[in-house]
C-alpha cells in the first residue's frame, strides 16, 4: 500500500493507479517503473526550464 500511495502522490496518478489495480501480480515493479519515469521526466523538465 505504501508503494501505491507513492504512486498516487506522483503526477501520473491515474496512469499508475490503474496499472496497479489491473496488474496486481506485478504491481510493485510497475509502480517502481512508473515512479522512476515520473521522477526522470520531472528532472528533465526542471533542467529544460532552468
* Amino acid 40: pLDDT: 72
User: Within 10 A of 44 (CB to CB), how many other CB atoms are there?
Assistant: 10
pLDDT tens-digit series, residues 1-50:
455 555 545 545 555 555 545 555 556 666 667 667 767 777 777 766 54
Give 1's DSSP letter: -
pTM of the full predicted structure? 0.30
Q: Measured between alpha carbons, how far is 14 from 8 in angstroms, rounded to an integer?
A: 7
Tell me if 31 sits within 8 A of 38, measured CB to CB: no
Grid cell, residue 21, equals 489495480
Amino acid at each position: 500500500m505504501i508503494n501505491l500511495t507513492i504512486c498516487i502522490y506522483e503526477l501520473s496518478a491515474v496512469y499508475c493507479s490503474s496499472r496497479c489495480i489491473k496488474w496486481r501480480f506485478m504491481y510493485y515493479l510497475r509502480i517502481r517503473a512508473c515512479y522512476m519515469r515520473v521522477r526522470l521526466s520531472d528532472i528533465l523538465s526542471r533542467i529544460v526550464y532552468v
